[in-house]
């Protein structure tokens, strides 16, 4: 027969069988049975046991409740879900079994403890509903309240879903796992606004394959949750309907299904988080540049390819933001460059104004420095978890908004119609307009709380004296008792003559008079012995008992009143949450603009000219990351021109000459321009591109069971299918993973395809070690050859890192091998062999001749057909 507490445990565990249950027992969270085994393995805890019924011992492992956050964080990081069973009745007050309830379930996507979150990163929980040809995506951040929905199309749709998931980079993603049973029945016109005639949306087949997304836990959820009924919370709110008004119904119905599952999941894991979700924003994919996962990886936008660390990435160079809101927004902007001119010009103008006006920039930077994480503080207040210290931090942040507003108010006003100043004035003025310091809430907090309030609310002591008449009254009532107690030690020493007498306090036994062994003989009659301790005895007196009871009562009363004040402050914040969150968004924006301006000045970036033309012209371009990471050598700038005439630049040059760096720098300059930043160049004219594709290097994706060559070819095939004349293509070597002839043939065919099919003639830079390909420039009008310049002085080879017209004639591989430290014998032998090969170099010549003949053949056949 199980004990009552064991029965309680088993009942709670049955509610959340897939989570590790942390069961509160006094000062510990205990895990039992299989959970205890898992936790002791993953957290290095000692495995003990507990006897619940006769003969049976359950494995048990525990973590102290004060340090639970760290342990929970480690469990969640390892992909576990953690359910917390709290004691909800006061142990002393209730007779018998303490009542326990599961208060929340923590999964990677539902973490909200500040200590477990990265401040410059969103912590997105996503949900996908995929059908052939279209998919719905919804994602929320329960620590900031942000909520997005997106309709994704594609044929097939899976790569498009993966691209969007790579952009969002959620930590957890829900997907339906029961086939066809999801329902999308609601009231709504099939292609109009929601709320009209009832209609049954035809449930189509759901694509089930769980997607594999890096660093994301895929959580299967019963398919019936992907329903409009579940999403009704979104539809019910007027704001929710407004955000969708005017959009064809078919464009958000799947996203609503996905949102439905998200809401159901949140309700299941932590009901409180539903209340903090903001109005969902329908993310318009078409306004943004789609970047596929390999391109994101190759360009090292937010983390490096090797090691995945943020340092060494583009983000690390650009990030001079001073607030968590700015940090998160910068990351989002880098992950979703724009393709529309107007918003980019607005961003540029704001950056320009901040570059031009040092005083303004410094004032803004100074005001930003003290603003903490408004988003997350507001959400914690809304969820009722913000502690006194956090509320004070929020009040201070709000006060600093006034300073930020004053700084922005001194920005140059709107200039003459059509000038740049109009735009900069507009952007900064709009930001200023959105800033709302919510002074009444801020002063309510500072009036109520002491200057430096404690983080924990459980001990009280955070409400300022004079703020609440009732608290002051309680204080006054206990004043005499406190003073009496404060003087007790001295007065009792005097009365009894015991010099070692001390007044001590313990949580369990309360106040006592402690007398050392030497003083025991003098203990007066009215002392009642309470406890024996190592050095002597502890006593109480009737007077002490009476005062203690009074103090306890007043402490309890005071704490209750203080907690009421705290709750009132939280509610005031919650009422003003919308205004505060709008301000937080504005802070994020001005923070990113200021960060762009600081980088532009420190790294000597220039404002690129943007238009919708067909040209990419860069003078003196530099690689933003390599130029700062190279301390010893100075970076050599290079020019780039891709236009109607030169569509495809074929770049040859030895290893280590700087080809990859050059290729990436062009892509990064274009990307930075389309994020609204200035660019590392003397000047740039960028006709906006619709997409940037990169195919770089050779990487085995062994985990996915694909060889280097297979990866290379599938990436290439995706690029050739999707690129348009408005795209920018960076191809760094192709055809290396197979035989030379195979590889050369493929590389040439790809180049020809890009040149010859007008629908895919993307602006391309093609770095290759197949020198044979340079002959194509002679045959095709839009291909030009470039090479990395190399200076040869006797045996010495110097890489000049300069891009020049023409093609390279040597590979210098042996030179690079020598630099890498291969033994002299090997180098010597290789040189001799090379001389031998070069003597009989029929291969290249034959290839050139064949290519020319082949070109004539093609032209002839075209001629015959027409």
Residues that bind ligand ADP (CB under 6 A): 626, 630, 633, 635-636, 653, 655-661, 801
Of the pair 201, 786, the CB lying nearest ligand ADP is at 786
Residue of 436, 407, 426, 410 lying closest to 350 (CA atoms): 426
The answer to whether 226 and 234 have CB atoms below 8 angstroms apart is no
**Least distance in Å: CB of 632 to ligand ADP?**
10
Q: What is the distance between the alpha carbons of residues 636 and 91, in angstroms, rounded to a whole number? A: 72
**Least distance in Å: CB of 785 to ligand ADP?**
16
Of the pair 718, 811, the CB lying nearest ligand ADP is at 811
Q: What is the distance between the alpha carbons of residues 372 and 814, in angstroms, rounded to a whole number? A: 55
Q: What is the distance between the alpha carbons of residues 266 and 473, in angstroms, rounded to a whole number? A: 43
Sign of CA dihedral 221, 225, 228, 231: negative
Pairing of strands 82-87, 20-25: parallel
**Least distance in Å: CB of 782 to ligand ADP?**
24
**Least distance in Å: CB of 635 to ligand ADP?**
4
The answer to whether 81 and 104 have CB atoms below 8 angstroms apart is no
**Least distance in Å: CB of 658 to ligand ADP?**
3
Phi and psi angles of residue 764, each rounded to the nearest 5 degrees, phi first = -130, 140
- Is 846 in a helix, a strand, or coil? helix
Pairing of strands 638-642, 528-533: unpaired
**Least distance in Å: CB of 675 to ligand ADP?**
22
Of the pair 29, 693, the CB lying nearest ligand ADP is at 693
Of the pair 193, 639, the CB lying nearest ligand ADP is at 639
Q: What is the distance between the alpha carbons of residues 138 and 210, in angstroms, rounded to a whole number? A: 16
Q: What is the distance between the alpha carbons of residues 18 and 364, in angstroms, rounded to a whole number? A: 49
Question: What are the structure tokens assigned to 827, written together?
Answer: 């180098």
**Least distance in Å: CB of 627 to ligand ADP?**
8
Of the pair 695, 782, the CB lying nearest ligand ADP is at 695
Of the pair 188, 658, the CB lying nearest ligand ADP is at 658
The alpha carbon of residue 647 and the mean position of all alpha carbons in its chain are separated, in whole angstroms, by 36
Of the pair 32, 635, the CB lying nearest ligand ADP is at 635
The answer to whether 732 and 696 have CB atoms below 8 angstroms apart is yes
**Least distance in Å: CB of 659 to ligand ADP?**
3
Residue of 146, 168, 151 lying closest to 247 (CA atoms): 151
**Least distance in Å: CB of 316 to ligand ADP?**
17
Q: What is the distance between the alpha carbons of residues 351 and 582, in angstroms, rounded to a whole number? A: 21
**Least distance in Å: CB of 641 to ligand ADP?**
17
**Least distance in Å: CB of 630 to ligand ADP?**
6
Q: What is the distance between the alpha carbons of residues 726 and 763, in angstroms, rounded to a whole number? A: 7
Residues in Cβ contact with 42 at an 8 Å cutoff, skipping those fewer than 6 apart: 74, 75, 78, 80
Of the pair 558, 659, the CB lying nearest ligand ADP is at 659
Of the pair 127, 652, the CB lying nearest ligand ADP is at 652
List strands edge to edge, sheet with 20-25.
48-53, 56-64, 28-32, 20-25, 82-87, 100-106
**Least distance in Å: CB of 731 to ligand ADP?**
12
C-alpha distances in Å from residue 445, one per residue of 162, 440, 479: 45, 9, 26
Of the pair 492, 627, the CB lying nearest ligand ADP is at 627
**Least distance in Å: CB of 660 to ligand ADP?**
3
**Least distance in Å: CB of 636 to ligand ADP?**
4
Of the pair 32, 812, the CB lying nearest ligand ADP is at 812
Of the pair 223, 657, the CB lying nearest ligand ADP is at 657
Q: What is the distance between the alpha carbons of residues 617 and 606, in angstroms, rounded to a whole number? A: 13
Pairing of strands 125-131, 134-140: antiparallel
**Least distance in Å: CB of 662 to ligand ADP?**
6
Question: What are the structure tokens assigned to 830, written together?
Answer: 């290789």
Question: What are the structure tokens assigned to 799, written together?
Answer: 């890489």
Of the pair 80, 659, the CB lying nearest ligand ADP is at 659
Of the pair 655, 779, the CB lying nearest ligand ADP is at 655
**Least distance in Å: CB of 765 to ligand ADP?**
12
The answer to whether 218 and 262 have CB atoms below 8 angstroms apart is no
| 270-275-277 Cα angle (round to 5) | 95
- Is 820 in a helix, a strand, or coil? coil
Do you find a cis peptide bond into 51, omega within 30 degrees of 0?
Answer: no
- The helix (run of H) or strand (run of E) holding residue 81 is none
The answer to whether 334 and 318 have CB atoms below 8 angstroms apart is yes
**Least distance in Å: CB of 622 to ligand ADP?**
7
Residue carrying structure tokens 């005017």: 246
Q: What is the distance between the alpha carbons of residues 137 and 153, in angstroms, rounded to a whole number? A: 11
- The helix (run of H) or strand (run of E) holding residue 19 is none
Phi and psi angles of residue 671, each rounded to the nearest 5 degrees, phi first = -60, -45
Of the pair 380, 659, the CB lying nearest ligand ADP is at 659
Of the pair 626, 851, the CB lying nearest ligand ADP is at 626
**Least distance in Å: CB of 245 to ligand ADP?**
50
Of the pair 165, 681, the CB lying nearest ligand ADP is at 681
Q: DSSP string covering 378-446, please?
A: HHHHHTT---HHHHHHHHHHHHHHHHHHHHHHTS----STTSHHHHHHHHHHHHHHH----HHHHHHHH
Phi-psi region of 821 (alpha: psi -120 to 50; beta: other; left: phi over 0): left
Of the pair 413, 697, the CB lying nearest ligand ADP is at 697
Q: DSSP string covering 34-72, please?
A: HHHHHHHHHH-PPPEEEEEETTEEEEEEEEEGGGHHHHH
């Amino acid at each position: 027969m199980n004990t009552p507490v064991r029965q309680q445990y088993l009942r709670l565990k049955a509610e959340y069988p897939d989570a590790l249950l942390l069961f509160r027992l006094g000062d510990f969270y205990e895990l039992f049975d299989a959970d205890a085994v898992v936790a002791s393995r993953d957290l290095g805890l000692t495995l003990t046991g507990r006897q619940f019924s006769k003969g049976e011992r359950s494995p048990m492992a525990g973590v102290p409740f004060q340090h639970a956050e760290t342990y929970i964080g480690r469990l969640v990081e390892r992909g576990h879900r953690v359910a917390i069973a709290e004691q909800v009745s006061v142990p002393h007050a209730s007779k018998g079994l303490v009542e326990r309830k599961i208060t929340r379930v923590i999964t990677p996507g539902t973490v909200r403890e500040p200590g477990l979150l990265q401040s410059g990163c969103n912590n997105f929980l996503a949900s996908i509903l995929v059908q052939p040809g279209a998919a719905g995506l919804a994602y929320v951040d329960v620590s900031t309240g942000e909520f997005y929905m997106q309709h994704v199309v594609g044929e097939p749709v899976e790569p498009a879903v993966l691209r969007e998931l790579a952009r969002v980079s959620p930590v957890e993603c829900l997907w339906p796992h029961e086939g066809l049973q999801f329902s999308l029945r609601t009231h709504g016109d099939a292609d109009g606004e929601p709320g009209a005639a009832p209609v049954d949306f035809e449930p189509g087949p759901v694509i089930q394959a769980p997607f594999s997304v890096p660093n994301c836990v895929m959580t299967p959820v019963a398919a019936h949750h992907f329903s409009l009924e579940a999403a009704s919370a979104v539809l019910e709110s007027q704001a929710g309907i407004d955000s969708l008004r005017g959009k064809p119904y078919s464009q958000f119905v799947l996203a609503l299904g996905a949102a439905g599952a998200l809401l159901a999941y949140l309700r299941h894991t932590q009901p409180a988080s539903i209340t903090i979700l903001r109005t969902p924003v329908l993310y318009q994919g078409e306004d943004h540049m789609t970047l596929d996962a390999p391109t994101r990886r190759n360009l090292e936008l937010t983390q490096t390819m090797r090691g995945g660390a943020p340092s060494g990435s583009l983000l690390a160079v650009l990030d001079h933001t001073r607030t968590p809101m700015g940090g998160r927004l910068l990351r989002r902007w880098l992950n979703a460059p724009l393709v529309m001119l107007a918003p980019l010009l607005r961003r540029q103008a704001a950056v320009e104004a901040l570059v031009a006006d040092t005083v303004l920039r410094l004032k803004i930077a100074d005001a930003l420095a003290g603003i903490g994480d408004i988003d997350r503080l507001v959400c914690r207040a809304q969820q009722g978890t913000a502690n006194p210290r956090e509320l004070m931090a929020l009040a201070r942040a709000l006060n600093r908004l006034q300073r930020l507003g004053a700084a922005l108010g001194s920005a140059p006003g709107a200039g003459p119609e059509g000038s740049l100043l109009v735009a900069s004035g507009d952007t900064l003025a709009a930001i200023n307009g959105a800033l709302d310091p919510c002074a009444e809430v801020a002063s309510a907090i500072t009036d109520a709380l002491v200057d430096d309030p404690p983080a924990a609310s459980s001990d009280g002591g955070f409400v300022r004296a004079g703020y609440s008449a009732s608290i002051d009254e309680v204080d006054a009532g206990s004043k005499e008792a406190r003073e009496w107690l404060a003087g007790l030690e001295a007065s009792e020493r005097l009365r009894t003559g015991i010099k070692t007498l001390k007044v001590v306090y313990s949580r369990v036994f309360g106040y006592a008079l402690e007398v050392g062994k030497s003083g025991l003989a003098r203990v007066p009659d009215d002392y009642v012995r309470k406890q024996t301790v190592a050095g002597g005895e502890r006593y109480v007196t009737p007077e002490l008992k009476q005062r203690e009871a009074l103090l306890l009562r007043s402490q309890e009363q005071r704490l209750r009143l203080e907690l009421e004040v705290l709750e009132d402050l939280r509610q005031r914040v919650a009422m003003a949450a919308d205004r505060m969150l709008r301000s937080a968004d504005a802070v994020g924006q001005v923070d990113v603009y200021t960060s762009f301006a600081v980088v532009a000045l420190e790294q000597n970036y220039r404002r690129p000219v943007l238009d919708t033309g067909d040209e990419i012209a860069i003078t003196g371009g530099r690689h933003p990351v390599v130029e700062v990471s190279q301390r010893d050598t100075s970076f050599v700038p290079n020019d780039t021109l891709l236009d109607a005439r030169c569509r495809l630049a074929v770049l040859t040059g030895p290893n280590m000459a700087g080809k990859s760096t050059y290729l990436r720098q062009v892509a990064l300059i274009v990307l930075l321009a389309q994020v609204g930043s200035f660019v590392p160049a003397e000047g740039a004219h960028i006709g906006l591109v619709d997409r940037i594709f990169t195919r770089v290097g050779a990487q085995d994706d062994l985990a996915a069971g694909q060889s280097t060559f297979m990866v290379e070819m599938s990436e290439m095939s995706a690029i050739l299918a999707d690129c348009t004349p408005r795209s920018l293509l960076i191809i760094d070597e192709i055809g290396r993973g197979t035989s030379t002839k195979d590889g050369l043939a493929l590389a040439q065919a790809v180049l020809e395809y890009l040149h010859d099919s007008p629908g895919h003639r993307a602006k391309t830079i093609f770095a290759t070690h197949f020198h044979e390909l340079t002959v194509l420039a002679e045959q095709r009008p839009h291909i030009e050859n470039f090479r990395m310049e190399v200076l040869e002085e006797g045996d010495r080879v110097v890489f000049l890192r300069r891009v020049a017209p023409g093609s390279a004639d040597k590979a210098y591989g042996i030179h690079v091998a020598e630099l890498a430290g291969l033994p002299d014998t090997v180098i010597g032998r290789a040189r001799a062999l090379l001389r031998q090969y070069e003597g009989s170099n029929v291969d290249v010549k034959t290839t050139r001749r064949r290519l020319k003949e082949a070109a004539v053949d093609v032209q002839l056949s075209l001629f015959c057909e027409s």
